[in-house]
Structure 1
Amino acid sequence: MMQKTWLITGVSSGFGLELTKQLLAKGDRVIGTVRNDEHVLALMQQYPETFFRYFLDMTDTAAIKALVENVFASLGTIDVVISNAGYGLFGAAEEVSDQEVIQIIETNLVGSIQLIRAVIPYFRKQKHGRFIQISSYGGQVAFPGNSMYHATKWGIEGFCESAAQELAPFNIGMTIIEPGGARTEFRYGSAKVAKLMPEYNGNPAHAFLPMLDEANGAAPGDPKKMAAQIIESAEIEPAPLRLVLGSQALESTISVLQTRIADFDKQRESAASTDFVE
């Protein structure tokens, strides 16, 4: 199998770090972005010829465009882009601050969109490429106390589903990854919590609190196995539009979608009643 070149955002922890380790171990090249390189120093030393670390703030669109231009100019090609950088924000809609709203949208949603947009012209010119967007089963299923995170994931899924149809004629694939809970720093370390209000104590909005404490039981997902499936998905032709990782995530998604369809089915008569009758 030929060596591939991967661009992955957010490789200092979680899925990004695990993906990078597995790809480098099998001989591929990885361009990995970080905000702090503390956790990738060992990889830089171990793989000086195939691991290229860049600092990147996903809220800086000009920096995203400059990075993409630099990578294509220096390496000639990228085969797969994994848009992974992002974080969780917990708290009721009323509890999150204006700045927290802006920051998570700019990081998780706008940053991912701008990364994909920056790469598209290069993928078109080389007549191939694969985008892999790390979303969540929270891009299909919504829970209380997580409204802003869901807003970014539902948003990026809509963007990707539309863009996938635009890019398919250029031999460019798009896959949305929807993992369930995994034993990564995302849940136990990097997740942000809004300034909680006592008015929401006992409210479903604060049901997330036990989940953030590993003492209450670890998440079911194995990051190594999940990363391996994400990597394997890049070889599937045509690109699968969505890939759900984790049995609990899949069951929850199916249940929610079945309920949604049943609700829509009940509206056939009322929906039709609003059509013009010629």
Structure 2
Amino acid sequence: MLLLLLTNAFVLLPWAGAGRIIGGCEAKVHSRPYMAYLEVKNATNASRCGGFLIRPDAVLSAAHCMDIQEIENVTVILGAHNISDEECSQQKISVARWVIHPKYSCKDGRNDIVLLKLKKKATITENVRCISIAKKNERVRAGALCMVSGWGQTSEKGNMSDVLMEVDLEVQNEEICKQLSSKYQRQSMICVGDEDSKKATAPGDSGGPLVCNEKAHGIVSHGCGGRFSPEVFTRISHFEPWIRKKLKRFPLQDIPGSLSSD
């Protein structure tokens, strides 16, 4: 089955490879309680992206998800499996503000990370939970099998999937992506997926987490070559100090000081 987390707008950037997730399947209902479904709207466009809850009032996603002019509002939907239904587990929360990394580049996909502050904290339930993120200098090794999940098209030109989908991908030796793209940066990016597996991510999967051993290590960013070539994920551990710094500036209200809780 095929999966895209994001369609209808600004995702096919010059540096991104075209394609779609291949080899995915429907996730077990509410098995990924950290997943967030983002709706980004301005006067003319309505776009969708993936994201993930790292604190009851904060979501991480890809910076290029917010790379659209004159955004009017952003809504985060938590606790969803079937986004077409008004499930009692769902929590729809508006985004108060967001912080894009100051060195983000839409031309080459560098520093592709954004932190979104929710207007109110999410209610932590069985179906809505935070996920831990990789700490500074914590790296996932080549050969590790990780998971990407989200909502998206079931074919290249088909409709969006109503239910949460997921696909497992293998972390690759960084030399592979470096050979495919001179813009690849080892320190801040992760090389994921391979041609032989016939599984791949694409620009449409933007913002979703790369989860390895129940911890978010990457953020879906952009393509690195052909449809089945390895893809580039933003390396969360490189940005962990920046994330913590920005979270400290968000009003915490009655939220505990820890970054996340499982």
TM-score by length of 1: 0.29
Hey, which of these two has a bigger chunk of strand by percent? 2
RCO higher in structure (CA 8 A, sep ≥6): 2
TM-score by length of 2: 0.30
Higher CA-based Rg: 1
